[in-house]
Amino acid sequence: MNTEEKRSIPLLGDEFPNLTVQTTHGTLNLPQYFKGKWFVLFSHPADFTPVCTTEFVAFQKRSEDFKAINCELIGLSVDQVFSHIKWEEWIKENLNVEITFPIIADTGKVAETLGLIHFGKGTNTVRAVFVVDPEGKIRIIFYYPQELGRNISEILRVVKGMQLSDKEKVAIPANWPENELVGGDVIVPPANSQNLANERKEKSKSGEMQCFDWWFCHKKV
């Protein structure tokens, strides 16, 4: 068996697998359905569970923030469509929150393709997050255990960060946009030649960018 056959999950930079999925919004073809947009696919262990309910409410409350940056949401679990629908109804009736993004009703095929089954816990899916760009490439993957709910603000932050990185050809520092060293600035890729290193020093003197040293420069965008 070769390396490709042994792979259990996609890797960063891979094309998101072509999948036909049944959802609360009907049959969708991924990633084609979101072509030209970023999307976040997130799996949850099961409907009608407390932590998952808090997550879905949190995702919904930030859904307009995702849409504002050209990013869509889609959930998934190994539950049938009618279970998703009843759960959505319960959330609306009891928590006054209407879930507007689609939820995949997986038979297990999608979870197997993406490596989402929680080992040792039956057919439950892990709390996974796949961030996919407009070209259908997987840019970020997060995995959380069942016991820990996700931070939706962090998922929104990383999508914004990757979009900025792509647009400006820069790197994003820790805790951006509130980094302890550079605040909301972004990191300029390190110089790869002596001439570029000297150029960085001159730009630092002129205030075009700020540098701790020739290899560690940052700027506003």
Backbone angles phi, psi at 25, to 5 degrees: -110, 15
211 as an active site residue: the answer is no
Q: Give kind and range of the element (H or E) at residue 93.
A: helix 81-95
* Active-site residue, selected from the candidate residues 52, 71, 211, 217: 52
Query: Which is nearest to 12 in space by CA: 196, 113, 183, 141?
Result: 141
Cβ-contact 127, 145 below 8 angstroms: yes
How far is residue 131's CA from residue 220's CA, in Å, rounded to a whole number?
Answer: 25
Q: Record the tokens describing residue 35, joined without a space.
A: 């072509």
Catalytic residue numbers read 52
